[in-house]
Amino acid sequence: MKTRVFVTLKPSVFDPQGRTIVEALQSMGYGSVRDVRQGKYFELDVAAESADAARSVASEVADKLLANPVIESYRIEVDGDDGS
C-alpha cells in the first residue's frame, strides 16, 4: 500500500535552506512567496491489509528512523485513506 511520509522541521526550528530558497525566489521577482520550509518526502510501499495498518507501520518507522523528534515532525498519507 502506497504510504507517504512528509517530514518537516518544527516551526520553532530555523531552516537555513528554506530561508536561502525564499530569498532566491524573492530576488527572482516572486515577492508573493513569503516563506519556504524545506522538508523530506518518503514513499513507502507497505504490505498491509488496511490503510490503518499501513498508517500504523509508517508512524512507527517515522518515530524510529525517518524523523528526529527533537527537530522534526511528520505527516502521513495513505492511498485510499482520507486521513480522518
Partner 1 sequence: MKFAVIEFPGSNCDHDAYHATKHVLGQQAEFVWHKETDLRGADVVVLPGGFSYGDYLRTGAIARFSPVMACVCEFAHAGGPVIGICNGFQVLLEVGLLEGALLRNNRLKFLCEHIHVRVEQTDTPFTSGAVAGQVLTLPIAHGEGNFHASPETLVALEANRQVVFRYCAADGAQTDAANPNGSAHAIAGVCNVERNVVGLMPHPERACESMLGSADGRVVLESVINTFASAGAA
The verdict on 66 binding partner 1 (CB under 8 A) reads: yes
- Where do we find the cell 507517504? 4
Kindly state whether residue 20 participates in binding partner 1, applying the rule CB under 8 A: yes
Is 43 a residue that touches partner 1 (CB under 8 A)? no
Q: In this chain, which of 13, 60, 63, 75 binds partner 1, going by CB under 8 A? A: 13
Instruction: Give contact residues for partner 1 (rule: CB under 8 A).
Output: 12-14, 16-17, 20, 65-66, 68, 70-71
